[in-house]
């Protein structure tokens, strides 16, 4: 079986889909909040709704990332880096599940009540996830440094973009919701920016994995067509 993907063409398709999703979200939210066009059909374009087209796209991104990590781990099973790639497979399996059933959101209410949190820590799941992220960063620091230059830069770029949306904005979003609630500005600013950054970050990570396979996993039955083709 061969998987043929052109990294350069992949990113072009991704940018097109991303612009389309963000545009339809902004148009639908403007129709709802500024023109009073209250139609449930418009929810399928809402970046913040779990059963929308954008949410389906994000789920596909997680699944594609996981598939590519499995491919790399399989190819690298006889190398020193195998355990790191296997660890990423396990992490992304959990994160893909989290995306599907919102595990982190289910943690917020119990933790908020237990620790009496509010304000910037309104979304209490940020605490355990941030601690886990710091531990994983220390464990994977050597691995990241040893990656090929292009892959390393893309990993760092994608991770920074994703975490800015998933953690950074979530902190300020919690404070905003606590004061003003989920109003039109919340949907047009926080939801748009947060979800867009998460989609972009995942897209950069997918591109990094595809490029890595293109560069480092030649000679296997699973190949990635070169972007030069």
The tokens for 227 are 């972007």
How do the domains of the chain map onto residue ranges?
7-216
Angle between helices 169-180 and 192-216 (to 10 degrees): 160
Residue written as token pair 């059933």: 101
The answer to whether residue 133 scores a pLDDT higher than 90 is yes
Phi, psi of 90 (to 5 degrees): -65, -45
Q: Residue 191: its pLDDT value, please?
A: 86
> What are the pLDDT digits (tens) for 172-210?
887 887 777 777 677 678 889 999 999 999 999 999 999
Residue written as token pair 């209250």: 38
pLDDT: is 48 or 151 the higher one?
151
> What are the pLDDT digits (tens) for 74-109?
999 989 999 999 999 999 999 999 988 888 888 888
Radius of gyration over alpha carbons of the chain, in Å?
Answer: 19
- The mean pLDDT value of the chain amounts to 86
Range 41-60 average pLDDT: 90
Least confident of 6-10, 13-17, 31-35, 149-153: 6-10
Q: Residue 63: its pLDDT value, please?
A: 94
Q: In this prediction, what percent of the chain has a pLDDT beyond 70?
A: 91
């Amino acid at each position: 079986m061969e998987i043929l993907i052109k990294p350069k063409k992949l990113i072009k398709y991704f940018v097109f889909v991303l612009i389309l999703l963000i545009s339809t979200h902004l148009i639908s939210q403007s129709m709802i909040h500024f023109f009073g066009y209250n139609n449930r059909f418009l929810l399928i374009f809402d970046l913040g709704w779990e059963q929308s087209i954008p949410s389906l796209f994000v789920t596909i991104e997680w699944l594609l990332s996981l598939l590519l990590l499995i491919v790399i781990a399989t190819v690298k099973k006889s190398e020193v880096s195998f355990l790191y790639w296997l660890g990423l497979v396990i992490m992304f399996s959990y994160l893909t599940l989290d995306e599907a059933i919102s595990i982190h959101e289910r943690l917020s209410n119990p933790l908020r009540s237990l620790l009496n949190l509010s304000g910037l820590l309104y979304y209490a799941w940020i605490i355990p996830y941030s601690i886990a992220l710091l531990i994983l960063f220390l464990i994977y620091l050597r691995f990241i440094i040893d990656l090929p230059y292009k892959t390393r830069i893309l990993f760092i770029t994608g991770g920074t973009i994703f975490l800015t949306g998933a953690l950074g904005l979530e902190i300020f979003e919690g404070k905003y919701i606590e004061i003003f609630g989920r109003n039109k500005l919340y949907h047009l600013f926080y939801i748009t920016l947060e979800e867009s950054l998460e989609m972009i970050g995942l897209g950069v990570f997918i591109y990094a994995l595809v490029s890595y396979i293109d560069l480092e996993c030649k000679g296997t039955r699973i190949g990635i067509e070169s972007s030069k083709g």
